[in-house]
Structure 1
Amino acid sequence: MSTTTQSFRPGLEQIAAYRAGKPAPVGPSGRSIKLSSNENPYPPLPAVVAHLAEVLPHAISRYPSIAAEELTAALAQRFDVATENLALGAGSVEVAAQLIHAMTAPGDEVMFAWRSFEAYPILVRVAGAVPVEVALDADSRHDLQAMADAVTDRTRLIFVCNPNNPTGTVVSEAELEAFMARVPSNVLVVVDEAYVHFDRNSDSPSGIDFFRRYSNVAVLHTFSKAYGLAGLRVGYAIAPVPVAEALRKVSVPFAVSRLAQDAAVASLAAEGELQLRIDEMVTERDRLTAGLRATGLPVVPSQANFVWLPLGEASAAMGAAFEAQGISVRTFAGEGVRVSIGDPEENDAVVAAVIAAANRV
């Protein structure tokens, strides 16, 4: 085996690669159920599939529009914002990276709750900034008071993942209001609403409303979750004009493909039909929560398309028990297990796997 003689950026050895949800092995039933990546269990809407079939012959051999005029116009109309307030990327995670690169210099601080989205600390370290992790409270929720206390003169960016990944918890409007009153106006607060479509909590804040009222708020959305377009990679930020302009400067050229742009436009036009699927997934989330609680497992109330099992040291064993039944979940050793919402049959299999594991003990 040859040994490389190239040198790498100092500190790169401290950056962990993002760990994607792995496929499940084939279980005793002959099935493989992947519930480790918070993907939509249903295919894209029929109207979206039909539209993509029409544009496919023209969408591959040419570069897409960098400006994504049609999608940008549709989003501007959908949220009643100016097109200048919008910046696109290959999924909201890529837009999060844009924000970090645009808003921080080496040594600046980027704050987020922990545990939260796994990519945050990776993206921050890649940019040369310093991640500041503030522990969730006893209910697996953002501790916004502690986060406000942790702001320093080096803080440039704060991510508030709402609903939070992987716990599914939300902050209240009053809590976010009190938080914004304490955050300096030169610190950008990013409300990451990747799972907002599944939130049924009447007290949850609207990131768009806060964007309209505060000059230091940006909002992240994605088409990967509710819209079922995870494989096409399209997300966006709604941000103050100077911030959106900066994001476009640091974005990867042509990152959002023509197929992704067209699929997103078609999805926005079919949101009524989409809502029926979202409602189905919320119903399944509540049914799975009840089923898991009936087995005796602790389940954190979720407003996302997954549930969080705070199992502590038993997390690895439970993850292995799911895998033995052909179900992949996201295991955070020593902390908990996140289970994405599948279709009804898949969710039944999750509960059955827990019962089977209990019977073997």
Structure 2
Amino acid sequence: MTLLAEPTIPSRRFAAGSTRFDLGLSENPFPPLPSVIEAVRETLESANRYPEFLPEQLPRLIAEHLGMSPDEVVVGAGATGVALQVMRALGTGELVSATPTFDGYAVLADMAGMTLVPVPLDAAGNQDLPAMRRAVNRRTQLVVVCRPHNPTGTLLDAAAVRSFLSAVGRKIPVLLDEAYVEFLAPTARLDIHELLRKHPNLLILRTFSKAYGLAGLRIGYCLGRSPLIDRIRHQQLPFGVPTAAVAAVRASYAAEPELLDRVARITHERTRLRSALRATGIETPESHANFLYIPGPGTATTLRRAGIKAKPYPDGSVRIAIGTPTATRAVHTALTTPHHSEPPR
């Protein structure tokens, strides 16, 4: 397995010398593929023209790729933008979600006038589906379930997800956040066609920011049955999806073998780092995404002192994006020195 190549362009998000490795966001360490860059560059020649008033090409492109109907797809500014459209379409009320989870849900709930109802993870770092079901009541407007979960990377059993959806019933919308689905083995993925057929209240949220490495282009989408998707589409921002997004998605789909290779490299590096940390007594949950969750206390402080930016949590734990082999060695050294050696190359 070929390891990750070192990035050719350093991050400018932080001043020189303040952060050696920026692993705070779950970004793809690779730049976009050359064919994707070229496709986007070509659209710049017509950047003086507005994109579609309401997006039609992008939903159709995604629908064709997934074997769905365009009226079952709604798109927006990344998964975050689409999630906000979902919440605004559903109105005020309560949003039930695990905690910790993607920080954006608390922010978006506040913007949409929803009250967040956080449900703690279980002892293994999994979303506690029975507890989440008990938190659902007549005020609940939306339930969010992540698979894989952010920030632990844990994976809910497919049967547990199906059982949960049946228990919630058809009246309360459930948003299944699959932002990291491309990092799952094919056998671990859910049959979304079957789920959507059985559960008209189900919405599936995905993004091109993670595995596809297009975070800066802000391309997300949501899948669902057309009556519910129609409500969300009413929140679509006119001229809100740039022409470059359509070109980038089309080129990305055409380059799928190359993208799959990149995903394999990232997951290999993730496994290598987790194995090295566990060998020194640092237990981390088995991750199914492009990051690792490293329990605290003190982990965030240790990494920060080593010049490594991670996503911190109140108890001192962190989520770190999988970067290059150099970043892997830096993380391992920071967390194990002086007692342990670096992971093998």
Counterpart selection for 1:47 from 35, 44, 63: 35
1:85 aligns with 2:66: no
**Partner Cα distance (2:308, 2:191) in 1:** 34
Map of 1:339 onto structure 2: 320
Map of 1:351 onto structure 2: 332
1:34 aligns with 2:22: yes
**Partner Cα distance (1:23, 1:326) in 2:** 14
Map of 2:57 onto structure 1: 70
Task: Report the identity percentage.
Answer: 36
Map of 1:57 onto structure 2: 45
CA contact (8 A) 1:170 1:204 kept: no
Deviations 1:79-132 (A, max 9, x none): 111100111110011111111110123xx1111111111111221122112111
Map of 1:113 onto structure 2: 98
Structure 1 stretches of 4+ with a deviation exceeding 6 A read none
320-329 vs 219-228, which moves further:
320-329
Give ranges in structure 1 of 5+ residues lacking alignment: 1-21
Question: Secondary structure of the equivalent of 2:145?
Answer: strand
**Partner Cα distance (1:203, 1:63) in 2:** 40
Counterpart selection for 2:112 from 121, 127, 141: 127
Question: Secondary structure of the equivalent of 1:77?
Answer: helix
CA contact (8 A) 1:164 1:170 kept: yes
Counterpart selection for 1:151 from 127, 136, 143: 136
Question: Secondary structure of the equivalent of 2:203?
Answer: strand
CA RMSD of aligned residues (A): 2.0
Deviations 1:242-295 (A, max 9, x none): 222111211222222222221122112211211010011111110111122223
The 5 Å alignment of 1:183-202 reads: 183-200=168-185, 202=187
Map of 1:242 onto structure 2: 227
* Offset of residue 25 of structure 1: 6.2
* Offset of residue 296 of structure 1: 2.0
**Partner Cα distance (1:24, 1:327) in 2:** 11
Counterpart selection for 1:255 from 230, 240, 245: 240
Q: 1:171/1:78 Cα in 2 relative to 1: closer, same or farther (>3 Å)?
A: same
* Offset of residue 298 of structure 1: 1.9
Give ranges in structure 2 of 5+ residues lacking alignment: 1-11, 341-345
Q: 1:208/1:323 Cα in 2 relative to 1: closer, same or farther (>3 Å)?
A: farther
**Partner Cα distance (2:97, 2:193) in 1:** 19
The letter of the residue matching 1:354 is L
* Offset of residue 357 of structure 1: 6.6
CA contact (8 A) 1:24 1:33 kept: no
CA contact (8 A) 1:191 1:207 kept: no
**Partner Cα distance (1:325, 1:25) in 2:** 15
The 5 Å alignment of 1:296-307 reads: 296-307=281-292
Map of 2:304 onto structure 1: 323
CA contact (8 A) 1:172 1:205 kept: no
Question: Secondary structure of the equivalent of 1:231?
Answer: helix
**Partner Cα distance (1:69, 1:203) in 2:** 31
Map of 2:82 onto structure 1: 95
**Partner Cα distance (2:338, 2:249) in 1:** 41
Deviations 1:24-83 (A, max 9, x none): 6655xx97211110000001111101212222221x222211443332222111111110
CA contact (8 A) 1:90 1:234 kept: yes
CA contact (8 A) 1:101 1:250 kept: yes
The letter of the residue matching 1:33 is F
The letter of the residue matching 1:109 is E
**Partner Cα distance (2:128, 2:193) in 1:** 21
The letter of the residue matching 2:328 is N
Deviations 1:275-332 (A, max 9, x none): 0100111111101111222232221110010000122xx2xx3223222222111111
CA contact (8 A) 1:102 1:247 kept: yes
**Partner Cα distance (2:243, 2:28) in 1:** 21
The 5 Å alignment of 1:213-292 reads: 213-292=198-277
CA contact (8 A) 1:97 1:123 kept: yes
Question: Secondary structure of the equivalent of 1:36?
Answer: coil
